Structure 1
Amino acid sequence: MSEKNCKQQDVLANLIECFSKQDGVHPTPIPSFFLIRESIISEPISRVNEPSFCMILQGKKEVLLGEERFLYGPGHYIVASVDLPVTGQVVKASPETPYLALKLEFTSSQVLEVLNEADIQFGQGKNTKRAMFVGEVELSLLDAVLRLACLLENPEHIPVLAPLFKKEIIYWILQGPHGEALEQMALEGSNAIRIREVIDYIMNNYEEPFRIEELAEIANMRVPSLHRQFKEVTAMSPIQFQKQLRLQEARRLLLADSTDVADVAFRVGYESQSQFSREYSRMFGFPPRVDISRLRENYV
């Protein structure tokens, strides 16, 4: 990492420290821009990762997508180009040297706008790529991120400049070595767009059973092609994708109130409580009641 990169990353880290005095994810006056601070190594947290760009300035994080692991720290960024159920864990942090990161969420229409304005030409989206990737932070991208973050010190300029800097960040990601993996999710007619439509359908109907033939019809693909390309994009099969959504929602419901396990299992789409408990234990490492009790004790 160059000396200039190091200095700019130090400036960003100081900004995050200044505007996020406590642990957690902090919204900012800049739309879709968040600052993140954690002073301890966290529990693995399962959630749906929205389309976003995340850069770490201090500490390290591990993200699990299906059975694929992404480990990244200072000097690298991670991008999710579509909604993905993931498990993330801060693996390097301390009160003296907290984990510091920033996240910028975006939409496929914003990516398409940049593609059209910049007249960027890639492939035709025939070969689907993983919708999550880690890249090395180049100076051009770091410059744009720093300009965006510095608007927090001059909020009167946010309405005019923040949209421009956000476009620039998307532009430099598209220009990077993994740009086609982001571009594919905005390119009309691409195979990845068809897979995104299937993802949207499962996200909106995760509690309902589905036939794989129905999903293939949504994607206008043959069943074997759907299976192959869905796994290429998400690192899991449609059934595994649905299962992760169901179990994540079940955990959220159980943490939110004292609803009993059988009721939650039914609400997220399970007909068998025993199957629900087995799959919950496999994903989170503990049976539902034990897991929820443990989490509540840890967060008191």
Structure 2
Amino acid sequence: MHDTQVPGLRLIRASRLSEPVYSVYEPSLCVVAQGSKMVILGQEVYRYDPSSYLTASVHLPITGQVTEASIESPYLSLQILFEMNQILEVIQASRDAIRAGNEANRGLKVSRLNDTLLDAVLRLVKLVETPQDIPVLAPNAIREIIYRVLQNENNASLRQIAVIGSHAQRIAGVVEKLNRDFAQPFRVDELATEAQMSASSLYDYFKEVTGMSPIQFQKQIRLQEARRLLFSGSIDAAEAAFQVGYESPSHFSREYARMFGLPPVRDMRRFRSSLVNEIPVSMEMNGG
């Protein structure tokens, strides 16, 4: 993954198929230039390739896997990160062209790529070659990309997340809180009070947007962060469990193995062995 001088633009390359990669998608647009990728959110599978694109409207813990790549034809993709204020500005400036509702939809969506959106994306990418143009032209290019994405009826979730007071916008606030304070215990009724919703409505709308319950969401965020800490080599499994909010190391070990296929100690051994043998293993990263 390579960050570019264009704010929010990342380029991704893979020369071989990957094992499952556990990461958190930020609000963004992902476009594949070559190859293909599979993303799992909860129990749902999303696939995209050069004929389609993926949008994420909130921070979502996902499992991703490159499914088509080789040294001769590497997987090539890009990710454009969105800020909520950018989306809101485009909606406010385009009220006649973009409709926004109050309902909540899944925060991850795969749509068919059209020439109009592709042209806007390519203009943004070409700015990498002329850094002096980036400060002037990049903001307008990103606004056009957001506008083209919002025009797609299939991307209602991206519109709704930016609408103040909508169910989706309230759920986005809860998602942000759980991503930020994942190590802290919470009760659904407390989250509902903060979101100005009933507990049952919060649960239903949260599951509609994220594909999982608030507890399942927090668990995935915790375990991904624990794995990142373990792979950094600075702490042991018990300390990682404590830092991400688990009180019982044995409980942590069981849930870790259920998610990643191996208990923490064996997973770390496999990771270290892969570094010696240069075998790719799943590491936490964002992006398409």
Match of 1:95 in 2: 71
Of 99, 102, 122, which aligns to 2:99?
122
Count residues in correspondence.
275
- Partners of 1:102 and 1:240 lie apart in 2 by 29
2:208 pairs with 1:257: no
TM-fit CA distance, 1:299? 3.3
Q: Which amino acid aligns with 1:124?
A: G
TM-fit CA distance, 1:273? 1.0
- Partners of 2:271 and 2:18 lie apart in 1 by 12
Unaligned runs of 5+ in 2: 277-288
The secondary structure found in structure 1 opposite 2:135 is: helix
Match of 1:53 in 2: 29
Unaligned runs of 5+ in 1: 1-24
Q: Which amino acid aligns with 2:21?
A: I
Match of 1:158 in 2: 134
**Paired residues of 1:148 and 1:166 also in contact (CA < 8 A):** yes
Deviations 1:201-258 (A, max 9, x none): 1112111111111011111111111111000000000000000010001000001124
Match of 1:40 in 2: 16
- Partners of 1:42 and 1:296 lie apart in 2 by 17
The secondary structure found in structure 2 opposite 1:299 is: helix
**Paired residues of 2:35 and 2:50 also in contact (CA < 8 A):** yes
Q: Which amino acid aligns with 2:157?
A: A
Q: Which amino acid aligns with 1:274?
A: S
**What is the root-mean-square deviation of aligned Cα atoms in Å?**
1.1
Where relative contact order (Cα < 8 A, 6+ residues apart) is larger, the structure is 2
**TM-score, with structure 2 as normaliser:** 0.93
- Partners of 1:131 and 1:58 lie apart in 2 by 24
**Paired residues of 1:197 and 1:218 also in contact (CA < 8 A):** no
- Partners of 1:199 and 1:95 lie apart in 2 by 38
TM-fit CA distance, 1:149? 1.0
**Paired residues of 2:109 and 2:155 also in contact (CA < 8 A):** no
Percent of aligned positions with the same letter in both sequences?
A: 51
Of 43, 52, 62, which aligns to 1:86?
62
Which sits farther off after the overlay, 288-297 or 36-45? Answer: 288-297
**Paired residues of 2:28 and 2:79 also in contact (CA < 8 A):** yes
TM-fit CA distance, 1:56? 0.3
2:114 pairs with 1:138: yes
Matches within 5 A, 1:177-192: 177-192=153-168
TM-fit CA distance, 1:123? 4.0
Deviations 1:77-128 (A, max 9, x none): 0000111111111111110110000110011110001111122442431x21
**TM-score, with structure 1 as normaliser:** 0.89
Q: Which amino acid aligns with 1:137?
A: L
- Partners of 2:116 and 2:169 lie apart in 1 by 28
**Paired residues of 1:37 and 1:99 also in contact (CA < 8 A):** yes
Match of 1:238 in 2: 214
2:7 pairs with 1:31: yes
